[in-house]
Chains A and B, each alone.
Chain A
Amino acid sequence: MAIEEDMAAEPQPGALVKRHRISTRLWHWTNAIAIIVLLMSGLSIFNAHPRLYWGSYGANPDTPWLQISNEGNRGYLQIGETQITTTGVLGRWREPDGDISTRAFPHWATIPGYYSLAAGRLWHFFFAWIFVLSGLAYWAWSFGNRHIQRDLKPSRKELSPKHIWNDIASHARLRFPTGAAALKYNILQKLSYLIVLFVLLPLIVLTGLTMSPMMDTAWPWLLDLFGGRQSARSIHFIVAFLIVLFIVVHLAMVVLAGPFNEVRSMITGKFRLPKARGDARPLRPEFAEEQAQ
């Protein structure tokens, strides 16, 4: 099961090998569904009050730092003093039946696709439980089977600026690891997965809980940690946006690295080791050294 065991057999390029554990695969898909429902139902909830504030309070008479609104025939996003016209997408858009809506996010971005704060909340809180419980189980499981310590924890060597720079350069040239090297996470993957797992996901749960008046009573430190309920709501939205950014880059990398093989490895666990390109020089020389040891 452990990746190291597979590595010991020195699989050749072209071989179909074990790549992802069942714990990783199960959580990946459960979490993927939960996150998508949470993002889209979250936009439904946001549409009920498409304004964000800093501090403890914030309502229509107060000044938001971000708002999505409309004026005449124009929809716009305003951040601080800057207004960006977003007609057709945000603030003013056409519903499937042709009617004009002046809600913030459009029907195709929200669950449900019609405006219902109540339904958005039903979806959001049901999937929040799935998201939190499966996330905690994955944390426990992956510390337990040492997936995090072995596969995600960067080595000191990997954290050297030179190594990171090399990795950025390879990514920029779309040169992906081939052969057995493709079985290991590279440093950019490790860092982004660690940031998502241990920064973004906990942050979005805690800021979500800070919006709950009952949780603020149970854990008043939440309010101090995030600087008030409205600040927590703002951070919740920003972190959601960062998670969307992660998903976009993640999907782009899957497509570039070979979508069939990548998706298969996340479903069945099996991954076909990519063959080296004809002109490919070793992508990461230090990895070859590790192999030689």
Chain B
Amino acid sequence: MSKLITTRRKLIAGIGSSVLLAGCDSWSRSDRVKNILASAEGLTMRAQRLVTDRNALAREYTMADLSPSFRANGSRTADSVEGSEYQAMLANGFADFRLRVDGLVSRPLSLSLADLRAMPSRTQITRHDCVEGWSAIGQWKGTPLSRVLDLAGLRDNANYIVFHCADTLGRQNRPYYESIDLIDAFHPQTILAYDMNGAAVPERHGAPIRARVERQLGYKHAKFVMRLEAVASLDGIYGGKGGYWEDVGDYAWYAGI
């Protein structure tokens, strides 16, 4: 009996360790396992939103807290935007830039940088948390996304706002994009930032417009934003998972943790 138990134990230990070490690798690549593991994402989002007031603000810091140097990550520059070269737009101070707002809106918009700057603004010093683990504190000034959406008039069936960006990533040059739901879209700290640390948002940080979604990780803060699209579902957008990294890299769409 005890011999049997010993054999069984060795078997369990053997299976256990090989499952852990080798199994996790093939499991990590299996869509079924990934889906099971990713089921925690919905639980995390619901639990976090349950304990967080809809309009609760992410901590705001002071000028004394600014990172001496704010790390730039992801795309440092962008390519072409519907015919106009990004570099040409940049050289021209984005005089020809127009932010398009379309999709499920009553009044599609085309806003210049001057239009955005003429709208009410919000300035906030916040901490940017990258999914990799690092953080940087910067000051951001921009137009609250809620103002722009109110101006465009969201239709009742709109559930998500998609940020279409001018940068591309990866070997296939896939366009970067991101999306948030209306809870984050109408959050007071969600802004279309045009200034960073008191000057126009620099190229490497996503000029002319970088989205700030302060209660989520850095990859949700789309850079080089060219177009906002209001949609009912994310299914038809690129890979359908709501963002570049979500499509190509298994990152969670909800990046509150």
A residues within 8 Å of B by Cβ?
36-37, 40, 45-46, 48-49, 51, 56-62, 108, 111-114, 116-119, 121-123, 125-126, 128-129, 209, 211-220, 223, 229-230, 233, 260, 263-264
Residue on B with the closest CB to A128?
A: B40
Q: How far is the CA of A36 from the CA of B249 in the complex (A)?
A: 24
Q: Which of the 9-residue segments B54-62, B74-82, B100-108 touches chain A?
A: B54-62
Nearest first, the 6 A-B pairs at minimum CB distance are A214-B256, A61-B69, A212-B257, A59-B134, A118-B250, A49-B133
Pairwise interchain contact A122-B34, C-beta atoms closer than 8 A:
yes
Residues of B within 8 A of A263 (CB): 9
Q: How far is the CA of A214 from the CA of B136 in the complex (A)?
A: 16
Q: Which of the 9-residue segments B17-25, B90-98, B196-204, B226-234 touches chain A?
A: B17-25
Pairwise interchain contact A125-B257, C-beta atoms closer than 8 A:
yes
Q: How many residues of B contact A (CB 8 A)?
A: 57
Task: Given A62-B67, A122-B250, A214-B52, answer yes or no on A117-B132 (Cβ-Cβ < 8 Å).
Answer: yes
Pairwise interchain contact A125-B67, C-beta atoms closer than 8 A:
no
Q: Which of A57, A212, A213 contacts B136 (CB 8 A)?
A: A57
Residues of A within 8 A of B29 (CB): 112
Q: Does B181 contact A (CB under 8 A)?
A: no
Task: Given A48-B133, A121-B252, A125-B41, answer yes or no on A112-B24 (Cβ-Cβ < 8 Å).
Answer: yes
Residues of A within 8 A of B118 (CB): none
Q: How far is the CA of A57 from the CA of B135 in the complex (A)?
A: 5
Residues of A within 8 A of B69 (CB): 61-62
Q: How far is the CA of A111 from the CA of B22 in the complex (A)?
A: 9
Q: How far is the CB of A32 from chain B (nearest CB, A)?
A: 10
Q: Does B44 contact A (CB under 8 A)?
A: yes
Q: How far is the CA of A129 from the CA of B38 in the complex (A)?
A: 12
7 A-B pairs whose Cβ atoms sit less than 8 Å apart in the complex: A40-B24, A49-B130, A49-B134, A58-B135, A113-B24, A129-B44, A229-B135
Pairwise interchain contact A59-B67, C-beta atoms closer than 8 A:
yes
Pairwise interchain contact B57-A217, C-beta atoms closer than 8 A:
yes
Q: How far is the CA of A40 from the CA of B28 in the complex (A)?
A: 13
Q: Does B157 contact A (CB under 8 A)?
A: no
Q: Mark B1-36, 1 if CB is under 8 A from A, else 0.
A: 010011001000000000011101100110000101
Q: Does B39 contact A (CB under 8 A)?
A: yes
B residues within 8 Å of A by Cβ?
2, 5-6, 9, 20-22, 24-25, 28-29, 34, 36-41, 43-44, 48-49, 51-53, 56-59, 61, 65, 67-71, 127, 129-137, 214-217, 245, 249-252, 256-257
Pairwise interchain contact B44-A125, C-beta atoms closer than 8 A:
yes
Pairwise interchain contact B25-A59, C-beta atoms closer than 8 A:
no
Given contacts A37-B24, A122-B250, 20 further A-B pairs with CB under 8 A are A36-B20, A58-B134, A61-B67, A62-B67, A111-B20, A113-B21, A117-B132, A119-B34, A119-B250, A122-B37, A125-B257, A129-B40, A129-B43, A212-B256, A213-B58, A213-B214, A215-B257, A216-B59, A217-B58, A260-B6
Residues of A within 8 A of B49 (CB): 214
Task: Given A214-B215, A214-B256, answer yes or no on A220-B20 (Cβ-Cβ < 8 Å).
Answer: no
Q: How far is the CA of A62 from the CA of B66 in the complex (A)?
A: 12
Residues of B within 8 A of A223 (CB): 59
Q: How far is the CB of B73 from chain A (nearest CB, A)?
A: 9
Pairwise interchain contact B21-A220, C-beta atoms closer than 8 A:
no
Q: How far is the CA of A129 from the CA of B39 in the complex (A)?
A: 11
Residue on A with the closest CB to B68?
A: A61
Q: Which of A125, A230, A264 contacts B40 (CB 8 A)?
A: A125
Pairwise interchain contact B28-A117, C-beta atoms closer than 8 A:
no
Residues of B within 8 A of A229 (CB): 127, 129, 135
Q: How far is the CB of B50 from chain A (nearest CB, A)?
A: 9
Residues of A within 8 A of B256 (CB): 212-215
Q: How far is the CB of B139 from chain A (nearest CB, A)?
A: 13
Residues of A within 8 A of B43 (CB): 129
Residues of B within 8 A of A112 (CB): 24-25, 28-29
Q: How far is the CA of A131 from the CA of B216 in the complex (A)?
A: 23
Pairwise interchain contact B25-A218, C-beta atoms closer than 8 A:
no
Residues of B within 8 A of A114 (CB): 25, 28
Residue on B with the closest CB to A64?
A: B134
